[in-house]
């Protein structure tokens, strides 16, 4: 998987991050189905790292545009949901 390109707008970065995390979760799910231990560990590390990057993007976006609270809540909910799904896959 290729990392999404970063923009100068943190709000746009969140959209990229959420899409990338969805792709990571799909890859992780497919890897778990194949039961390939090495690939599972690699997919988990990749997903966890990008989840951390996404949380940092959310913080930057919050600083960038503090008036748009509903968008921040939606983005944070998406990241939290993906992390919860990752936890239950393990």
Tens digit of pLDDT per residue, the chain (90 long)? 455 565 566 666 677 777 777 777 777 777 777 766 666 677 777 777 777 777 777 777 766 666 556 666 777 777 777 777 777 776
Q: Cα separation of 83 and 55, whole Å? A: 11
How confident is the model at residue 36, as a pLDDT?
62
Residue 29 pLDDT: 74
Contacts 24+ apart (CB under 8 A), 34-38: none
**What integer pLDDT is reported at residue 5 of this predicted model?**
60
The distance between the two most distant Cα atoms of the chain, rounded to a whole number of Å, is: 45
Contacts of residue 82, defined as CB under 8 A and 6 or more positions apart, other chains included, come to 18, 21, 22, 25, 47, 51
> What pLDDT does 1 receive?
47
């Amino acid at each position: 998987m290729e990392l999404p390109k970063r923009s100068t707008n943190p709000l746009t970065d969140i959209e990229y991050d959420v899409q990338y995390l969805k792709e990571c979760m799909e890859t992780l799910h497919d890897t778990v189905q194949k039961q390939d231990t090495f690939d599972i560990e690699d997919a988990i590390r990749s997903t966890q790292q990008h989840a951390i990057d996404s949380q940092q993007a959310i913080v930057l976006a919050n600083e960038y545009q503090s008036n748009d609270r509903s968008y921040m809540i939606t983005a944070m909910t998406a990241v939290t949901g993906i992390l919860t799904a990752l936890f239950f896959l393990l």
